[in-house]
């Protein structure tokens, strides 16, 4: 049990650090009016979860530890649903209802499309 927790924790550490740097970099270059950093992180995380889960369960015989590290740990920390919710709430609080609705709608739709795209890419390999 301790080994599983360490594997998840190592992946989680790397995922959260990657998320932070990616969102900061994106915000620096494309601005922060729309929470694009969180949006791109969430959509790319959905794509990677779709890709890896299909590859790990349908295509390759991967040890469960790799799924724990990459999917539960890394991608679990990399995707930022709580940040997405907070930023959407702040947009509403600031009177930016249109941007908040756009953020919520695009994040959910693009995330689902990215998930399915990841699965399709995995199936085509």
pLDDT of residue 121: 97
Looking at the structure of the chain, the number of domains it has is: 1
pLDDT of residue 83: 84
- 11-61, pLDDT tens digit by residue? 999 999 999 999 999 999 999 899 999 999 999 999 999 999 999 988 898
- For 34, list phi and psi in degrees, rounded to 5: -105, 135
- 89-100, pLDDT tens digit by residue? 999 999 999 999
103: containing domain: 2-124
Q: Are 81 and 42 in contact (CB under 8 A)?
A: yes
Report the predicted TM-score, pTM, of the whole model to 2 decimal places: 0.85
- Is the predicted pLDDT of residue 76 greater than 90, yes or no? yes
Q: How far is CA 80 from the centre of its chain?
A: 6
Rg (CA), the chain: 16
DSSP one-letter string for 6-44: HHHHHHHHHHHHHHHHHHHHHHHHH-SSS-HHHHHHHHH
pLDDT interval class at 81 (50, 70, 90): confident
């Amino acid at each position: 049990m301790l080994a599983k927790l360490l594997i998840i924790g190592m992946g989680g550490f790397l995922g959260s650090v990657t998320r932070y740097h990616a969102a900061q970099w994106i915000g620096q270059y494309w601005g922060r009016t729309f929470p694009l950093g969180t949006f791109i992180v969430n959509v790319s995380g959905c794509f990677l979860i779709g890709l890896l889960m299909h590859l790990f369960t349908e295509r390759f015989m991967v040890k469960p530890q790799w799924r724990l590290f990459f999917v539960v740990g890394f991608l679990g920390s990399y995707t930022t649903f709580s940040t997405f919710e907070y930023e959407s709430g702040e947009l509403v609080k600031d009177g930016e209802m249109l941007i908040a609705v756009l953020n919520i709608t695009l994040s959910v739709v693009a995330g689902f499309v990215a998930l399915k795209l990841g699965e399709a890419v995995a199936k085509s390999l």
